[in-house]
Structure 1
């Protein structure tokens, strides 16, 4: 049994609404073997992992999985449950899992939930699954891991998960943002997090935001500059100065008098800070340990406090207590430290709310000053300090005092943060009592500010050892997103089989006319404010994140295709508008899709992830799209449902309008907005760019879907027709039904690769030129199933008499010439008298097709990649037809009498005649 591949679904997906991993598991010699085939397996497994007894499985109650084990289940399923239980044992709280067959016998996809904020690059899921496989293997072999071995492995996995997890500060900010509905995106395994989308997006790294002053950070990082700046502003700070040498440090001791503090000029987290120094030798030794420039200050009296200021307001305060142990009269200091470190809140670094106490050289020195060693046994109730500084990073604890802070201290701290120039500041003070006023006085300062921290840790406020927890993460989020903002920009997602790229470009065009900067993803790339920034198939989650993370973008238009959704999940959590153009047979046989129903299940994710109160735009003419409205997670009662249709008599449409609903429909040659009984004509189909006077009837559906989405995002109806008329298909939608002229022959270039798309294109050409005046240069992708290629071949045979076939440059797993051979065979079987030729490459195919075309005829060119095709057409001298008149004899749709029927070959379309 081994893992063949593992991929992460970073957002909502076909399995659940949270991130997940999908592992392809090959059972090898365990193929076909069930748990009941292995004597004693269930009992040994439950002894090794007792928590499995509580797993529900399909039964929906504890013990369900055990019943499956005893009734016989396959080992992929067993591995899934063991992996989930191991995940729980290391504190990684997940519960969802599913195992499904992946085609070949003994091959399964194991799907498991991931924590929502786990790094997209995390290695933990793979390591957990490997551990689960090893454990199942050992149990199958008759033994099972020893308790000690399993505990050691789990400890290693727990440590790995902890290293990759966000720290408490980042975690608190993320949690606060999620409660507000603000989108969160974590970068790799860092604590850098993006909150919000587009021009509303903000960046935060622990307790530092994208508005944190770099000058303020540098000032706070230099303790000497900080002290001088505050001193000159009249803030009470300890007297002192900078020391570059031992002699400087000793001289400062003489000037200040003891006790003094020696600390690194640029240090942090209490490292190498020495207190209670009274002799030149102590100061010299402390300076040497600093290992560079130091600050020597008079030691102030009082207790240690940390006050957190966010956006000019004090939001939390804590008294900090240095690492210490309290004796019981029996245990040694070392024993007491070990006992303190057993507290599950303590960990290494900053991953947990408290840090482990270390008996290092600093602790030993502090103990020696108290006349103690690690082997000493302190009396019952005796407190021994292990650090002079009260930093949590060196094992200290905290007590919340937020409600006790005196107004004078609040005013002081607010002023300090403003003077340093920090939006978030942790101000360290030493005061007799934080509840007492701070008054200026004559003589040396005995209480006041000892340090200012940029990027302050939040642990002491989030989980104080004593007192009330403060939601400082929420305070930071409120400062970043005032007024209750959720940080979102309007977003629309478009999916379907055909037309989604055109609809995406139309929506982007319509919205940009409203003065908004649009970010869009499509099959051909990513564009920001009308400029292409990336050329690629940009219909997956990474491209969506590129748009949503761009600070220029005010509205996002996201083409969302099957491939990215299945392989990586969605790149967003919710959208305001979802559009489903149609669902027809394509890509079946890929990514586990066996039927159109499977394809509909995938496309449904876009519909399901429209937010409550958002708008779902669906094609009323497509039965599979109509079925989406009935899915439980679509919930039409929580979303606004808008239909579009080419048939004003569509019963779904008429029923919806009778209930007062909204729809967009083609009626009497016009694109019409319908609400209840009201009809508002928007534009004649004959005037829609790319509709070729109404010949390209499918363009009406694209335009209606785009108008519906734009209206849902606030576009004004009175401006839609004008804006739509300005759409230039040859510039803004190149290669999608684009007409070129080359001498006395026309070239119609399109990207359709499935039966429905090819049929729609041929219907258009037949209405413009007639079925006998069309020639085609065609390639079809090799990753389609044979039956889909055959169906496309039959559509071509029904609509053409002359065809030149060529192969994609990328055969996608097929042998050279295999696709052309299959397509030609199916075409000849359908139409024996067909003229079919073969060519090598698209250049030869187009040239051959042009040679077959007579003056006044049209050549349909189906391409694999647009850029090289466009370059070749330019080389030939072909020019976009633009507003050139359509061929003589075409009857534009606007001239047809209202209610008249336009007959199109049913053999070609497979649709009712009135379509």
Structure 2
């Protein structure tokens, strides 16, 4: 038996509805069932001789049950109150997820390792000094008690948490902009970085609990907007106990087969962690056009607000007839519905983020964003002004539909990397009047083969010419393997579609730009957004979608 990985949950999480502080250990067990049963009998006799308090832990369940119970019990013996433990199977019959409660993080991690070491030693008929583990845990507890005297309290101000498959980052950024317009001092986290009052203080994927703590403990902040991605939720939970508003943008099949999340139902449960953490007097803002998201309302005790691009959506009508709060698009306008009362906010064509009404995915980001601002008392007039000022620029939405105009052609940088993103991209490009659509695309290497093939199919329905590039990290796959998977999908749709392989992203961009024809539209699927924006600027595009971003100037991007 060995530990493959240990995660520490620091808030509401996927594994337990009630326990916020959990150790989650992935364990590999290769013994046969007979060996496990025989081992249990032996352990039952040995545990009592090691520590009388442990004699009742053994002959029930499985060896894994013994591990979790020992991990809990030795923490209790060291003066830390821990009770909960649970075991979850995975798709791999040799791998299991062991969950148990902790009081002190460092002690919980130590207890997991000690429990596995203890059981392995007893199964191998080796001596084990469990009292040393208990004494070590006591020292951890005493040290923690001293350190906790200087611990910072979590500030008491509004927290908005955003989750979903696509649109999280743009929605987060829009809400941060809108509430700043209302006068708040805003800190927000995204998969691009951490921002305090529009100042980028950390670059990278900052959508987890550690990044949330940076914002929540910053003295300049009195309003937090936190992107909560699947990976961060599974790694450490949410990092806060409760939010005031939660948003679920949508749920589609991405990352399946990773981190022991195999099905859409399981993925939905991961995302459900966020709205379940909403305060009872707060709002969960749910996508009424998405069945999995809409179904979440049944599991929530907070207030519900809905959004939809379709005013005739029966769910919206029923909700509003009962006095509910909702946001819709109706007759070309963004509209908020409060019961039967309606507030027209802005014409869709006048909201730059929506690209003259061509981008349906951006409309779906605006709807929950303006609902959040409305909940926090931003007036209808100010909301309209703010939406008209928020442009899809490298400053406001880096790597999200950033358009660069050149004298002869147009180039767009975007982060679309999954089926949902590519379907939205197709909806957008179908409305463009251009000579030719050139796509610089890449396979996300850690996805299943079938997903990569499907990305090839979707790309073939969007572009007239394709350039395949490669990410720096290909998760152990070769370039040739990824090329072949994409080509299977491309050739299935259009065997004659021109395809070129240029592994380096910048070389691929250079080729597309230098070979562009008048009226071409070039799409760049960026790996590192800021580096890509910097490189494109070397070609001096005639116009950006907004003036030069100051924080990107400081990084040397513009």
TM-score (norm 1): 0.57
Whether 2:461 is the aligned partner of 1:793: answer no
Distance 1:848 1:761, change over 3 A: same
**Structure 1 residue aligned with 2:210:** 542
Residue 496 of structure 1 pairs with residue 479 of structure 2? no
Match of 1:129 in 2: 112
SS class of match (2:452): helix
Q: 1:194 aligns to what SS in structure 2?
A: coil
- Equivalents in 2 of 1:746, 1:136: separation in Å? 63
Deviation, 1:817, is 3.4
Aligned partner of 2:304 in structure 1 is 641
* Equivalent residue, structure 2, for 1:738: 402
Match among 76, 80, 92 for residue 64 of structure 2: 76
Report the equivalent of 1:712: 375
Asked whether the 8 Å contact 2:352–2:391 carries over to 1, the reply is yes
Quote the Cα distance in structure 2 between the aligned partners of 1:843 and 1:677. 53
Partner of 1:193: 151
Aligned residue number for residue 225 of structure 1: none
Find the counterpart in structure 2 of residue 40 from structure 1. 41
1:161 and 2:140 correspond: yes
Cα distance in structure 2, aligned partners of 1:781 and 1:798: 19
Counting only pairs closer than 5 Å after superposition, residues 326-365 of structure 1 correspond to structure 2 as none
Question: Do the aligned residues in 2 keep the contact of 1:520 with 1:528 (CA within 8 Å)?
Answer: yes
Q: Deviations over 1:218-256 (max 9, x none)?
A: xxxxxxxxxxxxxxxxxxxxxxxxxxxxxxxxxxxxxxx
Q: 1:540 to 1:162 in 2, by over 3 A?
A: closer
Residue ranges of structure 2 left out of the alignment (5+ in a row): 548-558
Within the alignment, does 1:590 sit opposite 2:258 as a pair? Answer: yes
State how far apart, in whole Å, the 2-side matches of 1:39 and 1:530 are: 58
8 Å CA contact 1:798, 1:830 repeated in 2: yes
1:749 to 409, 413, 416: 413
Q: State the match for 1:768 in structure 2.
A: 432
- Work out whether residues 45 and 144 of structure 1, in 8 Å CA contact, stay in contact via their aligned partners in 2: no
Confirm or deny: 8 A CA contact 1:521 1:539 kept in the other structure. yes
Distance 1:538 1:134 in 2: 34
Tell me: CA distance 1:39–1:734, structure 2 relative to 1, closer, same or farther (3 Å).
closer
Any conservation in 1 of the 2:252–2:420 contact (CA below 8 Å)?
yes
Kindly tell me: are residues 829 and 195 of structure 1, through their superposed partners in 2, closer, same or farther at Cα, counting changes over 3 Å? same
Alpha-carbon offset, residue 792 of structure 1: 1.6
**Secondary structure of the residue that 1:127 maps to in structure 2?**
helix
- Output the CA distance in 1 between the equivalents of 2:55 and 2:39: 19
Question: Is contact 1:90-1:154 (8 Å) kept?
Answer: no
Q: 2:362 aligns with which of 699, 705, 730?
A: 699
CA contact (8 A) 1:33 1:74 kept: no
803 and 852 in structure 1: CA distance in 2 versus 1, 3 angstrom threshold? farther
> In the TM superposition, what are the counterparts of 1:472-621 in structure 2 within 5 Å?
488-621=156-289
The superposition leaves residues 759-817 of structure 1 with CA deviations (integer Å, 9 ceiling, x where unpaired) of 111211210226x7311111232111212212222111122221111101221332233
Q: Distance in 2 between matches of 1:698 and 1:598?
A: 24
User: Using the alignment, how far apart are the partners of 2:521 and 2:361 within structure 1?
Assistant: 19
**CA 51–813 in structure 1, closer or farther in 2 if over 3 Å, else same:** same
Report the Cα offset of residue 10 of structure 1.
2.1
CA shift, 1:501, in A, is 0.6
Q: Per the alignment, in what secondary structure is the counterpart of residue 680 of structure 1?
A: strand
Q: Is the 8 A contact 1:87 1:93 kept in 2?
A: yes
Map of 1:259 onto structure 2: none
Distance change in 2, residues 1:143/1:754 (3 Å): closer
Query: Contact 2:77 / 2:134 at 8 angstroms: preserved in 1?
Result: no
Mapped contact 2:45–2:55 kept (Cα < 8 A): no
Aligned to 1:19: 21
- Tell me the equivalent position of 2:322: 659
- State the alpha-carbon separation in 1 of the partners of residues 154 and 74 from structure 2: 34
**1:617 shift after superposition:** 0.5
Counterpart contact for 1:769–1:858, Cα < 8 Å: no
Shift of 1:827: 0.9
Question: Is 2:444 aligned against 1:781?
Answer: yes
Corresponding residue for 2:550?
none
Cα distance in structure 2, aligned partners of 1:160 and 1:37: 35
1:775 to 1:20, Cα distance in 2 relative to 1, 3 A = same
CA contact (8 A) 2:40 2:62 kept: no
CA deviation vs aligned residue, 1:678-730 (integer Å, no higher than 9, x gap): 22111111111121211112211111110011222232223100111111221
1:870 CA displacement: 0.7
Check conservation: 1:644, 1:663, Cα contact below 8 A: yes
Q: Equivalents in 2 of 1:766, 1:702: separation in Å?
A: 20
The C-alpha deviation readout for 1:174-197, integer Å capped at 9, x for no partner, is xxxxxxxxxxxxxxx553211132
Equivalent of 2:95 in 86, 90, 107:
107
Residue 138 (structure 1) shift:
4.7
Which stretch shifts more, 810-819 or 705-714? 810-819
Cα displacement (A) at 1:132: 2.4
SS in 2 for 1:844: helix
RMSD of aligned Cα (Å): 2.4
Q: Name the structure, 1 or 2, with higher relative contact order (CA <8 Å, separation 6+).
A: 2
Give the match for residue 85 of structure 1.
Answer: 73
Partner of 1:343: none
Q: Measure the CA separation in 1 of the matches of 2:542 and 2:142.
A: 59
Q: Distance in 2 between matches of 1:646 and 1:95?
A: 47
Work out the CA distance in 1 between the residues paired with 2:150 and 2:483: 51
Q: Measure the CA separation in 2 of the matches of 1:127 and 1:196.
A: 26
Q: Structure 2 residue aligned with 1:862, among 525, 532, 537?
A: 525
Counterparts of 1:652 and 1:794, CA distance in 2: 33
C-alpha distance in 1, partners of 2:456/2:479?
18
CA distance in 2: counterparts of 1:135 and 1:756, whole angstroms = 47
Q: TM-score, normalised by structure 2?
A: 0.91
Structure 1 residue 571: Cα displacement: 1.9
Task: Tell me, in whole angstroms, the C-alpha distance in 2 between the residues paired with 1:783 and 1:703.
Answer: 30
> d(CA) in 2 for partners of 1:799 and 1:154?
60
Aligned CA distance change for structure 1 residues 715 and 50 (closer, same or farther; 3 Å): farther
Q: What does 1:871-886 correspond to in 2, within 5 Å?
A: 871-882=534-545
Q: Which has the larger radius of gyration?
A: 1
Q: In the comparison of the two structures, how many residue pairs are matched? A: 543
Pick from 405, 409, 423 the counterpart of residue 759 of structure 1.
423
Q: Secondary structure at the match of 1:693?
A: coil
- CA drift of 1:854 comes to 2.8
**Does the CA-based 8 Å contact 2:209-2:236 persist in structure 1?**
yes
Please report how far the alpha carbon of residue 508 of structure 1 lies from its aligned counterpart in structure 2 after TM superposition.
Answer: 0.7
Change (3 A) 1:812 1:878: farther
- 8 Å CA contact 1:523–1:559 kept in 2: the answer is yes
CA drift of 1:879 comes to: 4.2
Cα contact 1:521–1:527 (8 A) shared by 2:
yes
The 1:45–1:602 alpha-carbon spacing in structure 2 relative to 1, beyond 3 Å, is: farther
TM-aligned CA deviation for residue 736 of structure 1: 0.5
